[in-house]
Amino acid sequence: MNYCTHCGQPLTLKIPPEDQRERHCCEHCGVVHYQNPKLVLGTIPAWEDKVLLCRRAIEPRHGFWTLPAGFMECGETIVEGALRETQEEAGANISMGALFSVIDVPRIAQVHVFFLAQLQNLEFAPGSETLEVRLCNEAEIPWEDLAFQTVRLTLQRYFADRSNGMFGLHQAVIAPGHSAHAFA
Amino acid sequence: MNYCTHCGQPLTLKIPPEDQRERHCCEHCGVVHYQNPKLVLGTIPAWEDKVLLCRRAIEPRHGFWTLPAGFMECGETIVEGALRETQEEAGANISMGALFSVIDVPRIAQVHVFFLAQLQNLEFAPGSETLEVRLCNEAEIPWEDLAFQTVRLTLQRYFADRSNGMFGLHQAVIAPGHSAHAFA
């Protein structure tokens, strides 16, 4: 961040008055440019004992497997965002279930949120950011080829809860030292 | 948003290739400037049958009452952010409890998240953004003078759950037509 989005003048990195953190400040027009974490929203679309996975057609993690998920957009709710990403990436029609996992990835300033979901039918198809869409039971999950640690953790908790007969809410942190692939 | 933060040249509002939404794009250096919703994190600090409220010393909603809450910062987790805001605004020491409410405010592109919390002692004091901090039981809550609808909804659900003897997870949306005061 080099220039002010408001007036185009160079920015200064400094702690504004009555703040505790360095921000990109414009000395010309006075605007302080705050940067905040982003929400990534996704679903666990279930069909019988299987879940729907997408193989990524884009970087980062091209060719690796993920649950349908993406950045929340302005103007939508978290449920609308998760539905939209599932439609865009997997062409899947789902009924939304409960909030299932909320996972912090502080190293990359992201919070990943996944919802339980039920596939309505078997008419799904890869979107433009997806190479392939596949239903996998627990044994068929490509555990070594998952794109993101938040997806791995969500799937692990999902199958554990499923075998216990009850789905809970799971909160977790991908520790800063841990190699987390940035979602982008 | 008028100028590119990367190179300082004027921005164009257009739909980038393989996107579905208008973004602020730099035709000079190629950077696309995405804007995404922000997370606001807070707590419901409880002491016996009371909760701790803060009267705001800043705009918006100067003089109105709120639960301690504020924007999530890069590099922290949602729990760390909620703890920090409680410390900064109310000078309160708490032990964190469960995730309690997740409320979308799509009109202003915010998601407000509140956690249950237990006050550790009665040593609290207003921070620089707070005029006054007060413990209120349900009857003492200044319902007509609350700063934000997400705070009102969270407190309503809190006292309802409390009288039912069990705290759940509450997901809600402040409808776009509804007059929601922007948190800032």
ipTM (interface pTM): 0.93
In percent, the amount of chain B with pLDDT more than 90 equals 92
Distances (CA, A) of B26 to A73, B9, B54: 20, 7, 42
Q: How far apart are the first and last CA of chain B?
A: 18
CB contact under 8 A, A5 and B11: yes
- B96 - beta bridge partners? B117
Q: What is the pLDDT of residues B119-161, one digit of tens each?
A: 999 999 999 999 999 999 999 999 999 999 999 999 999 999 9
- With a cut of 50, say whether residue A173 has pLDDT above it: yes
CA distance B106 to chain A (A): 5
Q: What is the pLDDT of residues A69-86, one digit of tens each?
A: 999 999 999 999 999 999
Nearest to A148 by CA among A53, A64, A55: A64
Distance separating alpha carbons of residues A77 and A69, to the nearest angstrom: 14
- B171 - beta bridge partners? B102
Q: Could you say which of A8, A20, A72 has the minimum Cβ distance to residue B37? A: A72
Q: Residue A88: enclosing H or E segment and its boundaries? A: helix A78-90
Cα-flanking dihedrals φ and ψ of residue A32, to 5°? -100, 125
Distances (CA, A) of A31 to A8, A144, B31, B58, B59: 11, 46, 21, 17, 16
Structure tokens at A2: 């080099």
What three-state secondary structure class fits A87?
Answer: helix
Q: Could you say which of A4, A73, A79 has the minimum Cβ distance to residue B3? A: A4
CB contact under 8 A, A5 and B8: no
Please report residues of A whose CB lies closer than 8 A to that of B80.
Answer: 106
CA distance B142 to chain A (A): 28
Peptide bond into A60 cis (omega under 30): yes
Contact A14, A21 (CB under 8 A): no
Q: What is the pLDDT of residues A27-83, one digit of tens each?
A: 999 999 999 999 999 999 999 999 999 999 999 999 999 999 999 999 999 999 999
Please report residues of A whose CB lies closer than 8 A to that of B128.
Answer: 18
Cα-flanking dihedrals φ and ψ of residue A104, to 5°? -80, 140
Please report residues of A whose CB lies closer than 8 A to that of B21.
Answer: 73
Distance separating alpha carbons of residues B76 and B28, to the nearest angstrom: 34
Query: Which DSSP symbol is given to A183?
Result: P
Q: What is the 3-state secondary structure (H, E, C) of chain B?
A: CCECCCCCCECEEECCCCCCCCEEECCCCCCEECCCCEEEEEEEEEECCEEEEEEECCCCCCCCEECCEEECCCCCCHHHHHHHHHHHHHCCCEEEEEEEEEEEEHHHCEEEEEEEEEECCCCCCCCCCEEEEEEECHHHCCHHHECCHHHHHHHHHHHHHHHHCCCCCEEEECCCCCCCCCCC
- pTM of the full predicted structure? 0.94
Which pLDDT does position B175 carry in this prediction? 86
Contact A65, A146 (CB under 8 A): yes
Which pLDDT does position B18 carry in this prediction? 84
- With a cut of 50, say whether residue B46 has pLDDT above it: yes
Give me the amino acid identity at A98: A
Q: What is the pLDDT of residues B91-124, one digit of tens each?
A: 999 999 999 999 999 999 999 999 999 999 999 9
Distances (CA, A) of B5 to A5, A56, A88, B2, B11: 6, 29, 29, 9, 10
